[in-house]
């Protein structure tokens, strides 16, 4: 199984400041077509998760452009250029390179 490790697990951020979450996979995430099957999700308290980023760096429909995904191989990053209060919640990375699909432990973003 591919192990996904996120850091930090808790991230206090001042509104307007940037934030960055790291996700490391235990195996390279890259298929023969050059696709990186790494997604990011956001879950507000008490709500269903929602898609943020797919294939490593593509924003899902409706996601603000302050969110960006990058990375390759085994190291990936989700960046928020300017955190807003509505960004409070838990962020998960997920690999869909192979089954079983696996998630990171989640990073809790909170406002300072």
Partner 1 sequence: EVQLVESGGGLVKPGGSLRVSCEVSGLNFNDAWVTWVRQAPGKGLEWVGLIRSNTDGGTTDYAAPVEGRFTISKDDSENTVYLQMNSLEAEDTAIYYCRPVVVISLTHYDYWGPGTLVTVSS
Element (H, E) at 102: strand 102-103
Is 92 a binding residue for partner 1 by CB under 8 A? The answer is yes
Q: Which is nearer to partner 1, 3 or 15 (CB)?
A: 3
Judge whether 70 and 52 are in contact, CB under 8 Å.
Answer: no
How far is the C-alpha of 9 from the C-alpha of 47, rounded, in Å?
Answer: 19
Is 25 a binding residue for partner 1 by CB under 8 A? The answer is no
Pair of tokens at residue 95: 């690999």
Is 26 a binding residue for partner 1 by CB under 8 A? The answer is no
Is 30 a binding residue for partner 1 by CB under 8 A? The answer is no
Is 101 a binding residue for partner 1 by CB under 8 A? The answer is yes
């Amino acid at each position: 199984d591919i192990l996904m490790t996120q850091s930090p697990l808790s991230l206090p951020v001042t509104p307007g400041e940037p934030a960055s979450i790291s996700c490391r996979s235990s195996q390279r995430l890259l298929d023969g077509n050059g696709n990186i099957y790494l997604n990011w999700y956001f879950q507000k308290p008490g709500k269903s998760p929602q898609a943020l980023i797919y294939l490593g760096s593509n924003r899902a429909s409706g996601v603000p452009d302050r969110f960006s995904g990058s990375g390759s191989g085994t190291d990936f990053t989700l960046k928020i250029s300017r955190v807003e209060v509505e960004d409070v919640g838990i962020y998960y990375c997920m690999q869909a390179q192979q089954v079983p699909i696996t998630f990171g432990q989640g990073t809790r973003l909170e406002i300072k």
